[in-house]
Structure 1
Amino acid sequence: MSCMRQDLSLILSRVAKKSTSLLGNFTSNLAEMWMHVRTKYDGGKIYNHCNRGSWHNRCYAASLRFNKGIQWSPQTWEETTSSVSGHYFTNLYSKRLQCLKNNTKTKGKKEIKTRRYKRKIKSAKESTAASSKKHYGPEAIQVEADISSEELDKRKQQYLKKHIEISHSEIDDIEINTRLQGSCKRWRDERATRLTASNFGLIFKRNQNTCNTIT
């Protein structure tokens, strides 16, 4: 009985350690990797509607393919039936394995890597040039007209009075309602409206010609 209790306490302790992730419905890197592997076999289906076994079979096939490699099907056949699979069945997976080796060998060649890198750089330049024309030069589109200096001063004063020059009671209210920090929406909103200890040093030390929208 004591051995069983020890095993149960070990299992429950592992569940207790992961309680935060379970309550928040978070996933680990291993779980994300498994879901990525599984979606290759079930076409992105996340619900088992038919309940006829095909969805589970796809999950099993995904795990076997990941663990055993491209020859997973003939190996599983031999382990479960204690017999060798047929000629055409084995030949099919042998061709797939050879095709994978050829692709790996071809992609590893220096000229292929150079060609792939040139295509990547060319596409990046073209996409960057196309997007930059929308924001710079004669083709740039100004959606909103610039406001006057008087209107800008007026809006700055309104912003200061609304967000910065607040009473002590409002300061206490902000302090109480933003203690959760990253998991609190109000904390993120308040952090975006004023300089805090976490971003003041970064802003203070940066160059004067740095764009204000970076931080």
Structure 2
Amino acid sequence: MLRSSLIILIAIAAAILPSEVSAAAAAMVDPATKISFDDSIGGLSLFGVGVRKKGPIKVYSVGMYSDSEAKDAMSSIPKSNKAYAISALRSSLKNASGTTFLLKMNFKVGAEKMAGAIAESVEPRTSDKAAVETLKKLIVDGIASKGAAVPGTKLQFDCSEAGVKVSVDGKEIGVAAGLCQAFCDVYLDEKAVSPALRDSCIENCCS
């Protein structure tokens, strides 16, 4: 009797434990899609998460990561002054060692269409059109082997002085030089494609 009870308890624990571990690993969940993001990536801390919508369609969730110094710089900024907080956030990232945007697909989008949408957002924010074309090609090349950016696909953009490094599902594709600030502004300036991400960063990092 004791042995059978012990076996049942072990089975219950085995069934529960994975979900508990998964919940602990997810520091933030995008409320719009219920997609979760870990609290750090590549040594960078999670600032916030948000959804990218196209009309009523929730295309993907995005998490922004940057270094602890940039996050500390935001801790004294009052979230009540939103315009000032946005400006301070953009300024803090200029001095960061690196900033990463992790996109997790929620809706199926073809390789060309996905790459084109991102490139069209970056293009007005830079004068380097050749670099934008390079970025577009890297995204297409990364997604092409899958046929499309299906739900669950992860597109990672590591922004640094070297440019924007593109990775798809953990596989590095290449680097588009000179687009760091422009790519960050896609998500953080006054015309940000995901206001929810920008608001989340302010809510989580400001005082």
TM-score category by the smaller chain? Answer: under 0.3
Q: Which is higher, the Rg of structure 1 or of structure 2?
A: 1
Q: Which has the higher helix share?
A: 1
With the length of structure 1 as denominator, give the TM-score of the two structures: 0.24
Greater length-normalized contact order (CA 8 Å, ≥ 6 residues apart): 2
